[in-house]
Structure 1
Amino acid sequence: MPELRSLCVFCGASPGALPAYADEAAALGRAMAENGVRLVYGGGGIGIMGVVARAVLAHGGEVVGIIPEHLQTAEIALDGLTELHVVPDMHTRKRMMFERSDAIAVLPGGFGTLDETFEILTWKQLNLHAKPVIVVNTAGYWDGLLTFCRSMLEAGFIREKHLGMFSVVDSAPQALQAARDLLPVSAPAARPERF
């Protein structure tokens, strides 16, 4: 059975309005460290992005941060990471985060989190990867997105199987088990899907 060694986490550079967002991020970070799962994330020290990274580090885990040059100050790159990679642009950041992870977890966030998530899902739809994508629906945060995904299906722009490209869990620590359960035994051949 494949081993979950690293988890990429997409999440907000803001704390959000509910304490539950940071609480769940901290719980995920602790669970990752305790289970020997390396965090791969955007490198920032603010918002719930910073919360999850600090939690991993505080419990003895490894954290790989990947941050673009232009955000190094805005997102205040977190000190003390196991590895920090400063890259030239957002595209390089997303590619490196993907390449260095076995699975992806999506915590609450804004436009940047959606951008990262939909790019990864698009690659999966095109059969470019089979990595698990786990949406953590803390306090129902992603309910609107899930409804919208269903509306895309009803409007004929995606198929039922595309809703199966990601899994939804209610709490952050559940993301680890879901990612483990869904790890592919071997990568599928890259074959673009026809629409």
Structure 2
Amino acid sequence: MKLAVFCGSSPGNNARYAQSAADLGAFMAGKGIDLVFGGGHVGLMGAIADAVLAGGGKVYGVIPESLLDRELGHTGLTQLQVVADMHERKAAMAAMADGFVALPGGPGTMEELFEAWTWAQLGYHDKPCALYNAFGFYDHLLAFIDKMADAGFLKADHANMLMVESSPEGLIQAMEGYKPPASKWS
């Protein structure tokens, strides 16, 4: 299994976010799950990539040429693919991955997750999408998703497509047990 992980190129302002990324990476490596990610060596991206590599796992990075220097492209990966732009990055990651996970991050993380989740809702893929809600980072977003559903802008079935877990064990178990909905348009 290969999981695409979207996360911050920054470590955030609390070391526990980087530790949670490293914990997830170590758990993935121990389960033989490969990482597909944005290719950077900094922030949470670097933390999870380094942990997977340290655990003997495979790591596939995809980074736009314009970000290669800014995000300090990780040179120790199984494979680092340099692409033209963000659209090509997301398409390459989606093609490689068997599922998508968002760790703490900023607007780029949200944009990547929301696109993958929207693609699932539209039936472009049937891969699981999840939030790794480390230390309750996504609690406010989850409340907003409930508001979207309550206001009639998001069907309950579509809201439920986004899995939410707060431990590496729970996340991987949910991803491995994912069964696509019978009908995305019910």
The TM-score normalised by the length of structure 1 is: 0.90
Aligned to 1:34: 30
Distance 1:91 1:192, change over 3 A: farther
Q: Which structure 2 residues correspond to residues 177-192 of structure 1 after superposition, within 5 A?
A: 177-182=173-178
Structure 2 segments unaligned to the other structure (5+ residues): none
Which of 140, 144, 163 is matched with 1:144 structurally? 140
The aligned counterpart of 1:50 is 46
- Is the counterpart of residue 8 in structure 1 residue 4 in structure 2? yes
Q: Which moved more, 1:170-179 or 1:43-52?
A: 170-179
Q: What is the alpha-carbon distance in structure 1 between the residues aligned to residue 62 and residue 95 of structure 2?
A: 12
Aligned pairs for 1:22-171 (under 5 A) are 22-171=18-167
Residue type of the alignment partner of 2:23? A
Q: What letter corresponds to residue 95 of structure 2 in structure 1?
A: E
In structure 2, give the amino acid aligned to 1:40: V
**Distance in 1 between residues matched to 2:47 and 2:179, nearest whole Å:** 26
Distance 1:78 1:178 in 2: 29
Alignment RMSD = 1.8
Amino acid paired to 1:29 = G
- TM, length-normalised to structure 2: 0.94
**C-alpha displacement at 1:193, in angstroms?**
4.7
Structure 1 residue runs of 5 or longer lacking an equivalent are none
The answer to whether the 8 Å contact 2:99/2:128 transfers is yes
For 2:14, give the aligned amino acid: L
Report the alpha carbon displacement of residue 160 of structure 1 after superposing the two structures with TM. Answer: 0.9
Deviations 1:92-113 (A, max 9, x none): 1001111101111110000000
Q: Which runs of 4+ in 1 moved over 3 A?
A: 191-194
* Residue type of the alignment partner of 1:84: L
Letter in 2 for 1:155: A
User: 2: distance between equivalents of 1:147 and 1:112?
Assistant: 20
Residue 192 of structure 1: how far off its partner (Å): 8.3
Matched, 1:21 2:20: no
- Which is bigger in relative contact order (C-alpha 8 A, separation at least 6)? 1
Specify whether residues 192 and 144 from structure 1 end up closer, same or farther in structure 2 by C-alpha distance, changes over 3 A only. Answer: closer
Give the total of aligned pairs: 186
After alignment, is 163-172 or 112-121 more displaced? 163-172
SS at match of 1:182: coil
Q: Distance in 2 between matches of 1:181 and 1:70?
A: 37
Equivalent in the alignment of 2:168: 172
